[in-house]
Amino acid sequence: MRSSKLKPEQCADPVQVRKTAMDYLARREHGVQEITRKLINHGFDDLVVEAAVDALVDDGLLSDSRFTEAFIHSRLQRGSGPQKIRAELRQRGISEDLISLGMEAVEEIWRERVREVREKKFGAAMPPDFRERNRQMRFLQQRGFTRDQIYSAFRDDDS
């Protein structure tokens, strides 16, 4: 059972639900599933939350596509790869169609970005031996880059 700091009359108050949702949205973009979960965990009634979230979507204040775009951009800046970003978006309830659209918009960036992430962590020089190269490749793989992207980071600098 969820713990609530709300008074019983506040749990079903649509104005209070919308105000709390707007507070969340003022900090950053949220996905529909994510904000619904937060509001329910805050202690609001499920049906009131559902109605408030629907109203926010209708008013254009809550958008999964805007959230997806902002999320991809923020993770790209952090140095995350496409596989990791896709997995995190799926966890947040974003549809595969929106994920694909968002990822297509940044498709050309990945080969350059994997090289930047490698150089930031390990420096511009190529690894001197097989063991170090594998260590760097594992790091990039954990960041969510694909095998082809990782190989390109080493191949392009070798030529």
Whether the per-residue pLDDT at 21 is higher than 70: the answer is yes
Q: Please state the pTM of the whole predicted model.
A: 0.81
pLDDT (average), residues 58-69:
96
pLDDT at 2: 52
- Which residue type does 110 have? W
User: Within 10 A of 71 (CB to CB), how many other CB atoms are there?
Assistant: 23
Instruction: Using pLDDT thresholds of 50, 70 and 90, give the confidence band for residue 25.
Output: very high
**Cβ proximity of 114 and 155 under 8 Å:** no
Structure tokens at 70: 């902002």
